[in-house]
């Protein structure tokens, strides 16, 4: 019974997971995933890789996740789980790739520029 560990990232969130055969429990930062991700859309995101790969309830997952917001963390966990499933069984990769679960979303917040209110927004102009 070997443990597969992978990582997933989204925005500034980083998830490190440890996947092993079991009965489907997902522990996130020491809490059950339903407690850590309280809303159904976030729980769906976390379980999406298992559903697409048709391996629901076959693996136990221990997750350490840090940084970003709750949605970014859920998507980081989803990517890490998808990568771990492919590491164990490469036959499942085409199904996961078709749903876009194998691609890291590289979009990040653009940095604030000097002389601007935000990255692109300008200060209000007045002719007076």
Closest CA to 31 of 87, 73, 90: 73
**Residue given tokens 């859920």 in the structure block:** 74
Q: How far apart are CA 81 and CA 50, in angstroms?
A: 8
Q: Where are the domains of the chain?
A: 4-99
pLDDT tens sequence across 88-125: 999 999 999 999 999 999 999 999 999 999 999 999 98
CATH code matching the domain that covers 4-99, chosen among 2.60.40.3880, 2.40.30.10, 1.20.1440.120, 3.30.230.10: 3.30.230.10
CB 15 within 8 A of CB 76: yes
Q: What is the pTM of this model?
A: 0.91
Q: How far apart are CA 60 and CA 19, in angstroms?
A: 6
């Amino acid at each position: 019974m070997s443990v597969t560990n992978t990582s997933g990232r989204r925005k500034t969130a980083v998830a490190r997971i440890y996947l092993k055969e079991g009965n489907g429990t997902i522990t996130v930062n020491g809490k059950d995933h339903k407690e850590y991700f309280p809303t159904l859309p976030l729980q769906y995101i976390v379980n999406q890789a298992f559903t697409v790969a048709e391996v629901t309830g076959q693996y136990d997952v221990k997750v350490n996740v840090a940084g970003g917001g709750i949605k970014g963390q859920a998507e980081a966990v989803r990517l890490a789980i998808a990568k771990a499933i492919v590491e164990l069984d490469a036959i499942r990769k085409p199904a996961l790739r078709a749903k876009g679960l194998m691609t890291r979303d590289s979009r990040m917040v653009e940095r604030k520029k000097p002389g601007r209110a935000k990255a692109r927004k300008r200060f209000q102009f007045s002719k007076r």
